[in-house]
Amino acid sequence: MALKPMLGGENWVTSRLDKVVGWARKYSVFPYPFVTACCGMEYMSLSSSHYDLDRFGMAFPRFTPRQADLLFVVGTISHKIAPVLRRVYDQMCEPKWVIAFGVCTCTGGFYDNYATVQGIDTIIPVDVYIPGCPPRPETVIQGMMLLQEKIARQKQEY
């Protein structure tokens, strides 16, 4: 109220630029679904109307790393596909985040064998791990909300 005469009767909102940018980024995440296995079906059902990812501002999957800022690694990553995953991650622009969806992506799961990468954190940095085989949609939504909190709280680069 005391500011009113000073600001000439206009309505002002004062905030920190970091907070505003974080809030904006939090609700405009563009996921790149890197889908390799059965978790892909889970991801498809999750991203269809029943669970409504549009609530989180994550409705638009972008199928090119140049338009995405969230790498959604969904399914088993074999050693043969690992260099491709690494290249996709490298081609994404900063700021970028990674979600590991499902136990195979997080740790290799029960594929303790010659073909499977034992967790994608051996190749690329991961922000949020979503466990489960397959993860329930509620689990994934919680993971996304955790990531949104992380995005809002982090030091923003612009």
Partner 1 sequence: MLEPVENSTLASLTARFGAAVIESGQDKGDLVAVVTRDSLHEIVAFLRDTSELDFNMLIDLCGVDYLPRKPRFEVVYQVHSLERNERLRLKVTVPEEDCRVATLSDLYPVADWLERECWDMFGVVFEGHPNLKRLLMYDSFVGHPLRKDYPINRRQPLIGPKN
Interface with partner 1 in residues 122-141 (CB under 8 A) = 122-123
Q: Is 53 exposed, middle or buried (0-12, 13-18, 19+ CB in 10 A)?
A: buried
State how far the alpha carbon of 32 is from the alpha carbons of 23, 61, 96, 143, in Å.
20, 6, 11, 16
Nearer to partner 1, 123 or 126 (CB): 123
Please, which residue, 52 or 90, has the CB nearer to partner 1? 90
Give the torsion through C-alpha atoms of 52, 139, 36, 78, to 10 deg.
160
- How many chain residues interact with partner 1 (CB under 8 A)? 13
For partner 1, the binding residue among 2, 17, 50, 112 (CB under 8 A) is: 112
Residues 64-103, mask of contacts with partner 1 (x by CB under 8 A): ---------------xx-xx--x-----------------
Task: Pick the stretch among 22-30, 55-63, 117-125, 132-140 that binds partner 1 (CB under 8 A).
Answer: 117-125
Which C-beta is closer to partner 1: that of 4 or that of 87?
87
Smallest distance, partner 1 to C-beta of residue 98, A? 15
Residues 110-134 as b/e (b if ≥16 CB within 10 A, e otherwise) read ebeeeebbebbeebbebbbbbeeeb
To partner 1, the closest distance from the beta carbon of 118 in angstroms equals 8
Number of H helices, E strands in the chain: 5, 4
Residues forming the site for partner 1 (CB under 8 A): 79-80, 82-83, 86, 112-115, 117-118, 122-123
